[in-house]
Amino acid sequence: MFMSATTAMAQSPDGLSALQETYQDWRVSCVMRDKVPACAISQDQTQQNGQRLLAIEVQARRDGTANATLLLPFGIVLDTGVTPNIDDRPPLPPVRIRTCLPNGCIASYPMDSATVAKLRAGSRLNLGVVADSGQKLNFPISLHGFSAALDRIAALGLR
């Protein structure tokens, strides 16, 4: 179950510890804040030239819910938001795009425990957007390692 390609523990000069591990397609990152680990899991997708296309960071809560922060590329219609769906299941309610920053557009995706359970059982999270041209675009995010990464941050102690 533990499929870490890399594990790194570092101690900063001010005594903060950091942890980085990889679980298939997901990265676990933790830092110590007030002697309690603050952890998240994330995944970046890059183009062939190395430029980031998409990023997702998920922070889980003790009650089984989670919140994902999505970093999407420019050139999408903001009004339509992002439409997530898991594998080939019906689409979930659209997520509003909050703002755009110099590195992309940000959406906050609150997930109830039922959605988190579906993500754990799924193989792909699809993020549907509409390009400025009117063309529908789909950004698939692998869920391989998602459950193991969530389990790891739960074992480290959620904050």
pLDDT digit string, tens, across residues 66-90: 999 999 999 999 999 999 999 999 9
Spatial distance between the Cα atoms of 102 and 84, rounded to a whole number of angstroms: 24
Spatial distance between the Cα atoms of 82 and 126, rounded to a whole number of angstroms: 10
| 8 A C-beta contact, residue 127 and residue 84 | yes
**What single DSSP character describes residue 159?**
-
pLDDT digits (tens, 9 = 90+) for 11-59: 444 444 788 999 999 999 998 877 777 899 999 998 888 788 899 999 9
Q: Which of 19, 14, 3 is nearest to 157 (CA)?
A: 19
Residue with the bigger pLDDT between 54 and 2: it is 54
The torsion defined by the Cα of 96, 123, 61 and 78, in degrees rounded to 10, comes to -10
Spatial distance between the Cα atoms of 45 and 143, rounded to a whole number of angstroms: 13
Name 90's Cβ contacts closer than 8 Å, sequence gap at least 6.
Answer: none
Q: What share of the chain is helix, strand, coil (3-state, %, to 5)?
A: 15, 55, 35
Q: Read off the pTM.
A: 0.85
Show the CA angle centred on residue 61, arms to residues 57 and 63, nearest 5°. Answer: 145
CATH of the domain at 57: 2.60.40.1880
Q: What is the mean pLDDT of the chain?
A: 88
Residue 133: both structure tokens together: 């041209």
- pLDDT for res 34: 78
Q: How many domains does the chain have?
A: 1
Q: Domain range spanning residue 117? A: 4-156
| 8 A C-beta contact, residue 157 and residue 45 | no
